[in-house]
Amino acid sequence: MAERTLFQKIIDRDVPADIVYEDDQCIAFHDINPQAPTHILIVPRKPIPSVDEITEEDEPLIGHLFVVAKHLAEEEGLEHGYRTVFNCGDHGQQSVDHLHLHLLGGRQLSWPPG
């Protein structure tokens, strides 16, 4: 059996997190190392290691993550805009091998992102 990721431990409630949303498909919580005033991670309950591992059957789930991001952005008052990001692989700075969508906002973000 593969070792559970940090995010799976949060989903299983073995590691505490500041959870702001959850449903039967995903969970969302504040990042412990925020890169913006609002930095929420939206994590599918299904353990998909990365963007490279998404399959066609995951299409409704991935769309759901973005709908959740939109609603959380509204709740957070990000009316001036926000960014959603999937990191993938070492060069993409993916730090946990469990797919997660970053929701960042609350300040002017720069481009390119770095």
CATH of the domain at 97: 3.30.428.10
Q: How far is CA 1 from CA 16, 17, 36, 48, 74, in A?
A: 23, 24, 36, 15, 39
Mean pLDDT of the chain: 95
Is 2's pLDDT higher than 80? no
Whether residue 20 is contained in a domain is answered as yes
Q: Which residue has the tokens 């720069």?
A: 110
Q: Calculate mean pLDDT across residues 30-35.
A: 96
∠ CA 26-31-69, nearest 5°, is 45
Whether residue 84 is contained in a domain is answered as yes
Segment (H or E) for 79: none
Domain that holds residue 26: 6-105
The total of other beta-carbon atoms located within 10 Å of residue 57's CB is: 8
pTM score, two decimals? 0.94
Count of the separate structural domains present in the chain: 1
Q: Which residues are catalytic?
A: 100
Q: Calculate mean pLDDT across residues 25-40.
A: 97
Is 114's pLDDT higher than 80? no
HSE (side-chain half, CA atoms, 13 Å) at 28: 24
Whether residue 112 is contained in a domain is answered as no
**59: confidence class by pLDDT, cuts 50, 70, 90:** very high
Whether residue 1 is contained in a domain is answered as no
Whether residue 27 is contained in a domain is answered as yes
Whether residue 49 is contained in a domain is answered as yes
